[in-house]
Structure 1
Amino acid sequence: MHRITVQYAPPASEAEEEFERRYREEHVPLVHDLPGLVGFSLSWPQPLAGEKLVHLVAQLDFASAEDLGAALRSEQMAAAGRHAASLGVPATMFAGEVEVVAGG
């Protein structure tokens, strides 16, 4: 399996509710349209110590490197990228092969 991970920085406290609404109502449907997508999960990590550096983590799973590459080159990904930029929250995106070392 290959995965794209996107980490979104915390929005300003007064903008958090609007970010969450727009992400769920507008962005999630765009991600669902990506070719080759086999899994999509969201998490809201909480720091065990120190300040909160990440508000939301999105993980997009693909069966192969080829499927991931096709998704990255797709018009659907371009549309999702444009929308993500419009959310006004810095994001870091990276991709790689997943190695399961325990469990399922």
Structure 2
Amino acid sequence: MEECEHCRHKERSDKEYRDLINRLSRIEGQIRGIKGMVEKGAYCPDILIQVSAVNAALNSFNKVLLANHIKSCVTTDIRAGKEETVDELVTVLQKLMK
């Protein structure tokens, strides 16, 4: 795969890839479940509880992805002298904590 200078790609291990995809598939299923609840006229508090569960699952996904990013990309870039990666990480963290 040819990369431009502005594009960044992450090579993931098979295990990391499968874990992330499995998490996203579960979240996707939860979203479909919520859509079905709305379509069937489910009671609002029941829907809100399911939405809360999806938010928790997305937060968990973010934690795993962020940890993997710090352990691989960030540490590799710092070792290579790419200090701008720290600024990028700070920006990402600020967006996550809105």
Fold similarity call, TM over 0.5 = no
Point out the structure with the larger strand share.
1
Question: Could you say which structure has the larger radius of gyration?
Answer: 2
Higher relative contact order (Cα pairs below 8 Å, separated by 6+ residues): 1
TM-score normalized by the length of structure 1 = 0.31
